[in-house]
Structure 1
Amino acid sequence: MAEKSESKSSVDKSHYSLQRRLLLNTSAVLVFFIAAMSFVLLDSYKAGIRQATFERLYAQFYSLLSYAEEIEAGDLFIPEEIPSDKRFNQYNSGLSALVYDETESLIWKSLSARYDQEQHKVPLPLSLPGEGTLAEITMEETEYFRFHYIAEWESPEGAVSLYHFVILENKRPFNQVISAYRNQLWFWLSIMALSLLVILFAVMRWTLRPIRRAVKELRQIEKGLLNTLSDRYPQELQTLTESINRFIQNERHQSKRYKETLGNLAHSLKTPLAVMHTALQNKSHDAEELSNICSEQISRMDQIVAYQLQRATSGPQVMMRSMEVEPAMQKITTSLSKVYHEKRLTIDVDIAEGLSVALDEGDFYEVFGNVLDNACKWTKTKVRIRGERVNGMVVISVEDDGPGIPEKVRLAILSRGKRLDETVEGQGIGMSVVKEIVAAYQGQIDIDKSKLGGALMKLSFK
């Protein structure tokens, strides 16, 4: 069960679309970027407000300092009310000031200060005289900005006294501003993120449209509505679509080759089967002669099957090894004489002595077996075969005294399935096979009128 579950899980994962993956990955990157950007913007905004607060409280310190006057060393006088900012004079206004001597004892506080110094003493930082600092502290569950400055005061007698000036400002307005800014920031960043996602989705749809078109065309090819993928694809997909087209063409070519090979095999087996059938019907043959004929034809059939299987997987084999023409031609004519013995044909073979041709043996039997079979089928009484070398070419001609081939259909009969007379038995395969094999050897076929009155088939090979 666990293996099935894992297998199903892996199958489900493999069905994620490329568009979905891109959208999910882009969304993750976008969320990270938006979060990082919001953190940076918010932190920068906080830093800006803190700096503005520091400068404002620094100004408040100088304002407070302007009202201070030292009566004697260690005895600093500051009016109870500070005219510069009325908040110093209003209880619990959120802005207050305190002054400590160098022993950190409170010597003055503004009217706005509401702190119980016995219970909640304001912590003073360690700092140098003349150095202003800003920090955040919490007292009585309330957050404050604390500005601290140590002022050096020199009396007329030359005595120097230190005074701690502390200004406290309630942090609530700061927090409210930050909260409002954060809400606005997240609102607009969310709008931007959604807008970017919509734009990215549209861009990805447009970018991946060629892939969707390729999938659609492949489905049409499966249904037989298209033959190949179109060539209107981006450069990045051109190599892929061209490879797919070549694959489709090769598959169709291979399928066509297998289909044709089956037809060729059936066509090629007709002659040896006919020879055996004729031999079995001929009462004059004794058992030994009949056995020899059948054995010879079965061996021939085995060669034909092997040859056709070879052609189905690799096409016509153009092997440039010469073979003698006359012995091979005699085998073909002997077999055909037995097939057409009722016509009492005269087959005249005139092959130049030692003539050889650069053909594979199987291809030779396939070519001239078909040509001579047609000649014997259409002739009346006589078939003539001649072989000679002319201008460096091996020329083998086959003539008969039959009705001949009209000039207007001479090229048509070389096409697969085309027959000169539909009333005569045959499949229209033989001559198309002849044309294919001769073309593979860069040979030539000429069809003309024979001096015997019938057809002349002239085949030339280098």
Structure 2
Amino acid sequence: MFGFGQRTALKTRVLLSSSLALILALGLMGVIMQQAFKEKTLQLVEERLEGYLYALIAYIEYDENQLVMPDNYPTPRMEQPASGIYGQILIRDFLWQTPSVLGQDIPEIKPLATNERIFNTRQKFGGVTYFYLSQGVAIETDDEVISATIAVSENAGEFYDELAAFRESLLTWIMVISGALLVIQWVIMYWATRPLKRLMHDLSRLEQGAESIFPEDYPLELRGLTASLNRLIENERNSLQRQRRTLGDLAHSLKTPLAIIHSELDNQPVDKSIINQQVMQMDEIVAYQLKRAAVAGHRTFTRGVPVIDVVDKIIDSLQKVYRRKNVQVKTAVAPGAEFFGEQGDLMELLGNLLENAFKWCDLHIQVTIKTLIKSGRQRTGLIIEISDDGPGIAEQKRELLLQRGVRGDEKVTGHGIGLSIVTDIVESYQGELSIDRDPDLQGARFNITLPP
């Protein structure tokens, strides 16, 4: 709009645009103030001249075809020659003037019809500017009604000199105030943009490795940004750690099968069944670790995934697989519940837990999903509870299932790889996973909390 380039500094844009707006606003205010002052003053002038005019009308006496004026005038200035205020009365061809007109060239009075009025704020005559008010009146005598025109004029030079002085003074003050406000605006802008400079400084320190995250003592308007950046940094670090841990676990998991194969190759004859068994185990380990590596984890910038659609899709698929069990599934999903992450992670998370529930339940499964709201966050988290009426999981085995760093092939039979994937997904979203017994169904209940 103002011709700023894309690379123009934000501070420069704000200062220039706000300064221009300030100057325009003050200039407009000055014009309005001057016009208001002028109009109000002219209104007072007209009212004053109108008072003189009505006073002259009241003083008029017309007797025996002669105009008779009293000794008193509406203002003493009308008795003083060249006083600057003058009165005139025109009746037929007779013109009467106040003593102040003596030796002065004043606007010529012209006859007006009864009640006709003229008010001129810049009546030029003889090189002098006058305020001029005239009105036609009717004078009643015993014999007839006589038309007369009465005029009052006042030297306007002093008024317009004062108006020019007022305009000059107003312009001076507007310039002074504008300068002061521009300085104050610059100081405010410098103070207001300090957090942005600090943000850039902290970002530079993060790039250099001097800091690990952004501090939390930024102004309220920047806390959302720094919190999102911190989550982004934390997610990247967690992703890197997860990849390193996955590679380490893969190497560790393959060590034993490789040792068995190497040992068996030294035997004669070689037992192919042992080799095949270890190869199949290695294949399962690689598949499991690939699934772990595929966990996307928490994403700072992503659209919400409708939870109910994923739940219905998984349940429909598992109902077909376990058709003979005729499992009864009750779902209670909060309206509008969304998962802010990769849809594949949600499918893997719910799919493993529901498949486990279908596998171990007798007849009933309960799925409850609620939204988790945190103050200051636009996103919502999830509280997931999946329970069944199966045999449940013994308390001592629950702890083993939830141990970090325990590989899927080392966990409880029937709950290994799938629950390991669930644990990794929950950890990647900074969530919590717990296992207890459902008080109603009396089977295992998996409780997951995923924060916003």
TM-score category of the 2 structures, normalised to the smaller one: 0.5 to 0.7
Task: State the AA in 1 paired with 2:105.
Answer: R
CA contact (8 A) 1:134 1:145 kept: yes
CA contact (8 A) 1:94 1:112 kept: no
Tell me the distance in 2 between the aligned counterparts of 1:307 and 1:87. Answer: 116
Task: State the AA in 1 paired with 2:32.
Answer: V
Cα deviation digits, residues 4-63 of structure 1 (max 9, x gap): xxxxx99x448652x455545544553454244323322231133224433553565578
Query: Is 1:284 equivalent to 2:268 in the alignment?
Result: yes
Tell me the distance in 1 between the aligned counterparts of 2:140 and 2:291. Answer: 116
1:190-269 equivalent positions in 2, closer than 5 A: 190-269=175-254
Task: Tell me the residue number matched to 1:41.
Answer: 33
Deviation at 1:249, TM superposition (A): 1.8
When residues 441 and 297 of structure 1 are mapped into structure 2, their CA distance, relative to the original with a 3 A threshold, is farther
Task: Tell me the residue number matched to 1:76.
Answer: 67
Tell me the distance in 1 between the aligned counterparts of 2:192 and 2:211. Answer: 24
Task: Tell me the residue number matched to 1:308.
Answer: 289
CA contact (8 A) 2:85 2:155 kept: yes
When residues 52 and 234 of structure 1 are mapped into structure 2, their CA distance, relative to the original with a 3 A threshold, is same
How many residues were matched structurally? 316
When residues 136 and 442 of structure 1 are mapped into structure 2, their CA distance, relative to the original with a 3 A threshold, is closer
Cα deviation digits, residues 233-283 of structure 1 (max 9, x gap): 344544443343233222211111112222332333333444444555x37
Deviation at 1:122, TM superposition (A): 5.2
Tell me the distance in 1 between the aligned counterparts of 2:59 and 2:233. Answer: 96
1:12-411 equivalent positions in 2, closer than 5 A: 12-13=5-6, 17=10, 19-20=11-12, 22-24=14-16, 26-27=18-19, 29-58=21-50, 61=53, 70=62, 72-73=64-65, 75-76=66-67, 84-85=76-77, 89-90=81-82, 96-101=86-91, 107-108=95-96, 110-114=101-105, 128=115, 134-139=119-124, 143-150=129-136, 153-155=139-141, 157=142, 159-279=144-264, 282=266, 284-285=268-269, 289=271, 295-314=276-295, 366-367=409-410
Task: Tell me the residue number matched to 1:346.
Answer: none
Tell me the distance in 1 between the aligned counterparts of 2:287 and 2:112. Answer: 103
Tell me the distance in 1 between the aligned counterparts of 2:56 and 2:174. Answer: 43
Task: Tell me the residue number matched to 1:426.
Answer: none
Question: Any idea what SS the aligned residue of 2:32 has?
Answer: helix
Q: TM-score, normalised by structure 2?
A: 0.53
Deviation at 1:146, TM superposition (A): 0.9
What runs of 5+ residues in structure 1 fail to find an aligned partner?
Answer: 1-8, 324-354, 369-386, 388-432, 444-462
Task: State the AA in 2 paired with 1:107.
Answer: L
CA contact (8 A) 1:261 1:311 kept: yes
When residues 265 and 87 of structure 1 are mapped into structure 2, their CA distance, relative to the original with a 3 A threshold, is farther
When residues 247 and 312 of structure 1 are mapped into structure 2, their CA distance, relative to the original with a 3 A threshold, is same
When residues 243 and 124 of structure 1 are mapped into structure 2, their CA distance, relative to the original with a 3 A threshold, is farther
When residues 64 and 85 of structure 1 are mapped into structure 2, their CA distance, relative to the original with a 3 A threshold, is farther
When residues 151 and 122 of structure 1 are mapped into structure 2, their CA distance, relative to the original with a 3 A threshold, is closer
Tell me the distance in 1 between the aligned counterparts of 2:111 and 2:279. Answer: 117
Tell me the distance in 2 between the aligned counterparts of 1:441 and 1:203. Answer: 49
When residues 301 and 87 of structure 1 are mapped into structure 2, their CA distance, relative to the original with a 3 A threshold, is farther
Tell me the distance in 1 between the aligned counterparts of 2:32 and 2:14. Answer: 27
Tell me the distance in 1 between the aligned counterparts of 2:180 and 2:188. Answer: 12
CA contact (8 A) 1:98 1:106 kept: no
Tell me the distance in 1 between the aligned counterparts of 2:165 and 2:200. Answer: 50
Task: State the AA in 2 paired with 1:263.
Answer: G
When residues 139 and 172 of structure 1 are mapped into structure 2, their CA distance, relative to the original with a 3 A threshold, is same
CA contact (8 A) 2:249 2:407 kept: no
Larger radius of gyration: 1
What runs of 5+ residues in structure 2 fail to find an aligned partner?
Answer: 298-347, 360-393, 413-423, 436-452
Deviation at 1:100, TM superposition (A): 2.1
Cα deviation digits, residues 150-188 of structure 1 (max 9, x gap): 455455x46443321223334333222212111211221
Question: Any idea what SS the aligned residue of 2:287 has?
Answer: helix
Tell me the distance in 1 between the aligned counterparts of 2:210 and 2:20. Answer: 41
Deviation at 1:215, TM superposition (A): 3.6
Tell me the distance in 2 between the aligned counterparts of 1:367 and 1:211. Answer: 51
Tell me the distance in 2 between the aligned counterparts of 1:218 and 1:32. Answer: 38
CA contact (8 A) 2:113 2:137 kept: no
- Greater Cα shift, 296-305 or 58-67: 58-67
